[in-house]
Amino acid sequence: MTFTQWFQSWGGEAFGWFLATTVLILMIALPLMLAVAMIIYADRKIWAAMALRRGPNVVGPLGLLQSFADGLKVMLQETIIPSAANRGLFLLAPIITFTVALIVWAVIPFGAGMVLADINVGLLYLLAASSLGVYGVIISGWASNSKYPFYSALRAAAQMVSYEVSIGFVLISVVLWADSFNLSTIVLAQQAHVLGFFNGFGFNPLLFPMAVVFLISALAETARAPFDLTEAESELVAGYQTEYSSMSFALFWLGEYANVILMCALNAILFWGGWLPPVDWAPLYAVPGIIWFFSKILIFFFIFSWIKATVPRFRYDQLMRLGWKIFLPISLIWVFLVSGYLMLTRYGG
């Protein structure tokens, strides 16, 4: 990577690497926070438009600065810690959620070679880091020492563990086809994947059902509507965030939306070609890969918002039924089908 080499040329081998990595981390994390602010605005606007409302339109032109006004507001508020709460863990929970939401971005390739940590086990790293995210919710629910957060934490733990199972199987079928756990390699394996023309595993009829399962599981994994039972306001006030205020609340909020963007990015990377254009046609490669990648993220975010605005919330038993009785068998069968197909075609029986 030339960027790191430039730093190493004047800072020395180790120190240059350290500086370059720090700068790269900031180059991912700071725009990500800006993106989260804008995507919250977009979410509210889309949701409002589908409900024939105007949405935020007062702060700044077209209400564009609404998220920043909200951010400023929560920063100026007082952090309230309930007297019965477990103080240390109560404050640790939002930090865990936020940190985990940031560290997963280390392995996301934004373009050809544009990745902070190009590790062999990138996909497993993602799975590992996202399974850590559940601790923020559980700890906050327990440490709040209040019944609604506790219910919410129990729901969240069961929900995330359940859907991680089917996500795991979906990832296995992708990994089998791409022959790698490295996200950049997975994207490159999708080039001209179908009929030598379409870039993306999602265009493959054998993998398309997995793309659908992954999209829905991603909604459940990030506890977005229609699976937002962890913060079902009609039952649980605000779920695990009930006792939180000011920045500790904002960290949950930021982490949650950063996770939503991550899931959109994963949908794009695993099934729809990542930074590659949708079809393998030379003029389309003139557009920088990062623009393709971001536009795919935005399309998926629109789908997420669309679902949030239109689909009613699931009941808890329905959620569990979908995860264990429908997605788990389907994804398991699909792993079997995909590996069988590859066995016959790629590895010659």
Query: Which residue lies nearer to another protein by CB, 111 or 239?
Result: 239
Is 170 in contact with 213 (CB distance < 8 Å)? yes
Distance in Å, CB of 105 to another protein, minimum: 17
Spatial neighbors of 309 by CB under 8 A, at least 6 apart, are: 46, 47, 50, 51
- Return d(Cα 266, Cα 258) in angstroms, integer: 12
Q: Which of 203, 94, 188 is nearest to 139 (CA)?
A: 94
Distance in Å, CB of 157 to another protein, minimum: 6
Query: Which residue lies nearer to another protein by CB, 171 or 268?
Result: 171
φ, ψ of residue 18 in degrees (nearest 5): -60, -50
Please tell me the count of residues contacting another protein according to CB under 8 A: 28
- Return d(Cα 201, Cα 176) in angstroms, integer: 12
Residue 154 engages another protein in binding (rule: CB under 8 A) = yes
Show the site string, 157-196: x = touches another protein by CB under 8 A, - = not: xx--x--x----------------x---------------
- Return d(Cα 219, Cα 336) in angstroms, integer: 25
Is 338 in contact with 173 (CB distance < 8 Å)? yes
Stretch near another protein under the rule CB under 8 A, chosen from 122-130, 218-226, 235-243, 283-291: 122-130
Show the site string, 313-332: x = touches another protein by CB under 8 A, - = not: ----xx--x-----------
Distance in Å, CB of 290 to another protein, minimum: 27
Residue 84 engages another protein in binding (rule: CB under 8 A) = no
Query: Which residue lies nearer to another protein by CB, 53 or 325?
Result: 325
Residue 99 engages another protein in binding (rule: CB under 8 A) = no
Residue 120 engages another protein in binding (rule: CB under 8 A) = yes
Stretch near another protein under the rule CB under 8 A, chosen from 55-63, 76-84, 133-141, 193-201: 133-141
Residue 142 engages another protein in binding (rule: CB under 8 A) = yes
Query: Which residue lies nearer to another protein by CB, 48 or 154?
Result: 154
Residue 131 engages another protein in binding (rule: CB under 8 A) = yes
- Binding residues for another protein, rule: CB under 8 A, are 14, 89, 119-121, 124-125, 127-129, 131-132, 134-135, 138-139, 142, 150, 153-154, 157-158, 161, 164, 181, 317-318, 321
